Structure 1
Amino acid sequence: MKKKTTKLLLSFLIILLICSVLLVLVSSLIFSPQYVFRTIVNGNSDVMDYKVFPERIIQKSSQPYHYKYNLDASLKVMPIDYTYKGKGRTKPLNTILEETNTTSFIIVYNDKVVLEEYNNGYGQETVNTSFSMAKSIDSLLIGMAIEDGYIKSVKQSIADYIIEFKGTNMERITIEDLLLMRSNISYEEGNIWFGDDAKTYYMPDLRNLALTHKNLTSKYQGKFHYNNYHPLLLGIILERSTGKHVSEYFEKEFWNKIGAESDASWSLDSRESGFEKMESGINFKAIDFIKIGSMLING
């Protein structure tokens, strides 16, 4: 009886292995071997992903700006009130930073650094990756492109810049729809490499992915729906309107002007495609990134 059970279990494992191999092979033919390899090897996104993808370097400012320091040690243990699972709680700030695996935490007040904390092995020279904070940069770049005259208005159809969408239902989508994530472009999360989360993160040609994904749905009804195709399309619009790589435009019109002290980088989908990962991939040192906040506060 025991031998029979062992044989059945072994047969099941062999069948499972064969099916898994076939699934990988078929998926590689449907998508690309590089894409499937990335999803299997790298899995979920990680703070070290800037080392996984190729990158385009963004040069530091020709006139770096350095904050003055007026550190206040009492802020480290400042009690923070918050609600978790319906219960009110209070903990010192440094405990919260450790428990939430925060890597870098800086407070600037009146253009002076009053608190600068690094945890979990991070320090002043450590590179951080933006993840979805990149979407805020995308939005700022669209605004700058309007100020520079490359784009007329957020009310324009995206087909004004992406001519592949002329005469299709995609023509009804505006730049504003992309910025507010309210278009009817379908987006399905999960489902390993068959889902849009993985595709918009790991595909080696994100530009082509965004241009060929024309699946629309009526289920969003003009409401916000998280969708990584939106920032990818914004990247294509920035490329075509400015005539520059997005990171090149970012460096000239943004990174240099805010007085960045160090080089940054923007992760690319692949060396062959050379398209910026608009949904997630700006990599920087924390002290420079906070200068974006200073710029916005000071108008």
Structure 2
Amino acid sequence: MKSWWITGALALTACAQAPTPKAASSTPSATETARLQQIGAAVLFWSQAQRDANFPHMERVFPVHTVKTGRRVRPLPDGAPLPIPAAEVDAFIAAQNVAGLIVVQDGKVRLERYARGLTREGRWTSFSVAKSFTSTLVGAAIRDGYIKSVDEPVTRYIPELTGSGYDGVTIAQLLTMTSGVRWNEDYTDPNSDVARMFTHDVPAGQDPTVAYMRTLPRESAPGTKWVYKTGETNLIGVLVRNATKKPLAAYLSEKVWKPYGMEADAVWMIDQTGKEVSGCCLSVSLRDYARMGQLALEGGRGIVPANWFAQATAAKAQTGRPGYGYGYQWWTYPEERFGAQGIFGQSIFVDPARRIVIAMVSAWPKATGADLSGPRAAFQAKLIAAAVAN
């Protein structure tokens, strides 16, 4: 749910304008490198007008790699309209600054709404919803034979972590954020790890995530304590990239976008070394967010091992809230539901028993808060109840 972005208030009024888009798959220039180390700070402090302008067009602000779709598009045919008053949907969209809402049941669209200038053809940023896409690439790499199993040590694929707090940590423990390595995710604290990760000097030729993460001490035995760590999802991306020898955007295109039939190209923001920031920063169309939920619901046949999503969406760690847990970069909820979440109101919610996927993209007035997530959960429950009723 958190982002990798650096904390600190910077004046970036220009970001609300529409600068010339960056070329896809470009490597940042020296100027862009410095900007990447600073500009991200402002995302948390953008005005509402800036969020509205930039969330659907992050490639205009940051350099990206493109996740290319194929020729075949998986249909999302219309289903019976959801029996819920339009005025109630309108009120929720307005109250939550929702840009896109879609409800899919049995693979059919029962409700689809757009606002705030977003259209079916447009994209919206994911923030940490991207984490669930990244973990799916681990499953794909295991099926392809690039990775043997989640029980392997992380250092087998990221040898630069040898001698650090990640000695003896397995891929599974990285996926569940139970490495035992100390981390501070507080993005209101300029001294937190998530704030410092992309500001420290990186020796030439080293990956910035690895260079920072190897400096962190261990605070508990691996597998014994859950702590939310965006830096560890970034490590997962490094691990997949090292194992496959492919850029993450290219591998996501090869393993998910093309075979599953995503409708539109996605874009993935890159760091100062030209590598995808795998803990966040993927911009996707609303329908393709729904397709990702559908892929997980169906089990990802031909893309990941047969039991991958059953394992990935089961609670492997407890988050401190009864009934709520964490799997392989998926959040788990009561009634065996699961989902992906990102700050400022991004979500994919899956109810396997009722074969329902709800995808939502938003521009909340702040990153997170119970006053926003609570009403969203209540509205998701109303949508499910309406779907079950008819």
- Alpha-carbon offset, residue 138 of structure 1: 1.3
Divergent runs of 4+, >6 A? 201-206
Per the alignment, residue 210 of structure 1 pairs with 210
In the superposition, the TM-score normalised over structure 1's length comes to 0.75
| Distance change (3 Å), C-alpha of 1:40 and 1:68 | closer
Distance (whole Å) between structure 2 residues aligned to residue 74 and residue 201 of structure 1: 47
Distance (whole Å) between structure 1 residues aligned to residue 201 and residue 189 of structure 2: 16
- Taking the TM superposition and a 5 Å limit, the aligned residue runs for 1:92-171 are 92-171=88-167
- Alpha-carbon offset, residue 203 of structure 1: 7.6
- Alpha-carbon offset, residue 275 of structure 1: 1.0
State which drifts further: 256-265 or 43-52.
43-52
| Distance change (3 Å), C-alpha of 1:255 and 1:193 | same
Per the alignment, residue 255 of structure 1 pairs with 257
What SS does structure 2 have at the residue aligned with 1:103?
A: strand
Gaps of 5+ in 1: 1-31, 79-91
Distance (whole Å) between structure 2 residues aligned to residue 254 and residue 203 of structure 1: 34
What SS does structure 1 have at the residue aligned with 2:134?
A: helix
Conserved? CA contact 1:267–1:282, under 8 Å: yes
In the superposition, the TM-score normalised over structure 2's length comes to 0.59
Instruction: Find out whether 1:194 has 2:191 as its counterpart.
Output: yes
| Distance change (3 Å), C-alpha of 1:203 and 1:245 | farther
| Distance change (3 Å), C-alpha of 1:39 and 1:134 | closer
Distance (whole Å) between structure 1 residues aligned to residue 251 and residue 200 of structure 2: 23
Relative to total residues, which structure has the larger helix share, 1 or 2? 1
What SS does structure 1 have at the residue aligned with 2:112?
A: strand
Conserved? CA contact 2:121–2:264, under 8 Å: no
Tell me which amino acid in the other structure corresponds to 1:236: V
Distance (whole Å) between structure 2 residues aligned to residue 160 and residue 110 of structure 1: 41
Instruction: Find out whether 1:236 has 2:238 as its counterpart.
Output: yes
Work out the number of aligned pairs and report it.
Answer: 254
Gaps of 5+ in 2: 1-32, 300-390
Per the alignment, residue 37 of structure 1 pairs with 38
Identity over the aligned pairs, expressed in percent? 25
- Alpha-carbon offset, residue 276 of structure 1: 0.7
Q: Which has the larger radius of gyration?
A: 1
RMSD of the alignment, in Å?
A: 2.8
Cα deviation, 1:2-44, whole Å, max 9, x if unaligned, reads xxxxxxxxxxxxxxxxxxxxxxxxxxxxxx8545632555454
Give the one of 251, 263, 266 matched to 1:264: 266
Instruction: Find out whether 1:283 has 2:279 as its counterpart.
Output: no
